[in-house]
């Protein structure tokens, strides 16, 4: 009896050791292989998230950084969770690789226009707003929308019901701010303008190019098994 208890304790301890070594798996969308699949949590640490507020001051927010490895392609990605990084989600936002998450599935020219806007963002708010407007040009060309100019093409798109009314308004604001940034020397853009424009642009691209694919992925997920054998 005593021997059995001892064996059981040893077995339990070794099982716990094994479990410690098995990385925790979660379901994430991999931007490298473009698959929604199991990811191993291979690292986690606490560190500040740095950001610029509306007055242009550098600020810090406590954050949790998590490193995940895709079970399919073995590539890694870094997520940051903080009050500023989608705090209602489990892991916050993916901060590396940057933007490839959004761009997966988008046409090359739209992708290029978006990447160019992202590249100038840390250096110039005015340049970002001008290039954000050019992303709209790229979308209009990709969608083969006819019109005398960008405003006209977007207006035609809206009447055809190509995008919901709220996104129609968002495109109009992006277009107007882009024009303002390009033609008016005396403007008063701050970090908040840039953040909100980026969010609107991201939503627009996701709606047009990414959301339809997500529905197809959802179907394939129903048959997927996690590494521990559980069904999704
Ligand atoms: Zn992958």
Query: pLDDT tens digit string along 79-110?
Result: 999 987 778 888 988 888 865 555 667 888 99
- pLDDT score recorded for residue 197: 92
Query: pLDDT tens digit string along 2-26?
Result: 444 454 555 555 444 544 555 688 8
Residue 231: count of CB within 10 angstroms of its CB = 9
Q: What does the mean pLDDT of the chain come to?
A: 82
Confidence of residue 42 (pLDDT cuts 50, 70, 90): very high
Question: 29 with 55: CB under 8 angstroms?
Answer: no
> Which of 20 and 159 is assigned the larger pLDDT?
159
- pLDDT score recorded for residue 7: 47
| pTM of full prediction above 0.75 | no
Q: Which residues contact residue 192 at a Cβ distance below 8 angstroms, ignoring those fewer than 6 apart?
A: 54
Kindly list the protein residues that place their beta carbon closer than 5 angstroms to ligand 1, a single-atom ion.
Answer: 30, 32-33, 70, 72-73
> Which of 4 and 41 is assigned the larger pLDDT?
41
Question: 204 with 1: CB under 8 angstroms?
Answer: no
Maximum average pLDDT range among 3-12, 133-142, 157-166, 210-219: 133-142
Cα Rg of the chain, angstroms:
23
What is the residue-wise DSSP string for 3-23? HHHHHHHHHHHHHHHHHHHSP
pLDDT at 33 over 50: yes
CA of 28 relative to ligand 1 center, distance in Å:
9
Q: Which of 114, 88, 117, 113 is nearest to 101 (CA)?
A: 114
Mean pLDDT of 61-67: 94
What tokens were used for 140?
Answer: 């209009």
- pLDDT score recorded for residue 86: 78
CA of 36 relative to ligand 1 center, distance in Å:
8
pLDDT at 135 over 70: yes
Mean pLDDT of 107-131: 88
Q: Which sequence spans correspond to the domains of the chain?
A: 25-97, 108-219
- Of 1-5, 63-67, 129-133, 155-159, which gets the smallest average pLDDT? 1-5
CA of 71 relative to ligand 1 center, distance in Å:
7
Q: Which residues contact residue 112 at a Cβ distance below 8 angstroms, ignoring those fewer than 6 apart?
A: 138
Architecture in CATH for domain 108-219 = Up-down Bundle (1.20)
- pLDDT score recorded for residue 225: 73
Q: Could you give the angle at the alpha carbon of 93 between the alpha carbons of 69 and 195, nearest 5°?
A: 150
C-alpha count within 13 angstroms, C-beta hemisphere, residue 193: 22
CA of 167 relative to ligand 1 center, distance in Å:
31
pLDDT at 167 over 80: yes
- pLDDT score recorded for residue 22: 53
Cα dist. 193→28, 49, 53, 132, 148 in Å? 30, 20, 11, 12, 28
CA of 34 relative to ligand 1 center, distance in Å:
6
Query: pLDDT tens digit string along 171-208?
Result: 999 999 999 998 887 777 888 888 899 999 999 998 88
CA of 107 relative to ligand 1 center, distance in Å:
20
């Amino acid at each position: 009896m005593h021997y059995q208890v001892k064996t059981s304790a040893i077995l339990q301890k070794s099982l716990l050791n094994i479990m410690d070594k098995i990385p925790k798996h979660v379901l994430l969308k991999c931007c490298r292989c473009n698959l929604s699949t199991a990811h191993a949590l291979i690292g986690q640490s606490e560190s500040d998230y740095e950001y610029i507020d509306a007055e242009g001051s550098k600020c810090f927010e406590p954050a949790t950084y998590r490193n995940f490895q895709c079970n399919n392609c073995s590539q890694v990605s870094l997520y940051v969770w903080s009050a500023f990084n989608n705090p209602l989600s489990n892991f916050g936002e993916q901060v590396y690789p940057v933007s490839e998450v959004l761009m997966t599935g988008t046409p090359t020219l739209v992708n290029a226009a978006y990447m160019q806007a992202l590249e100038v963002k840390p250096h110039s708010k005015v340049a970002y707003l001008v290039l954000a407007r050019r992303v709209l040009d790229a979308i209009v060309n990709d969608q083969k929308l006819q019109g005398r100019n960008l405003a006209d093409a977007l207006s035609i798109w809206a009447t055809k019901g190509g995008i919901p009314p709220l996104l129609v308004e968002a495109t109009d604001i992006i277009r107007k701010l882009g024009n303002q940034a390009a033609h008016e020397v005396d403007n008063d853009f701050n970090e908040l303008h840039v953040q909100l424009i980026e969010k609107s642009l991201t939503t627009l691209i996701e709606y047009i190019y990414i959301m339809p694919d997500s529905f197809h992925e959802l179907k394939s997920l129903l048959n997927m098994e996690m590494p521990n054998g559980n069904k999704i």
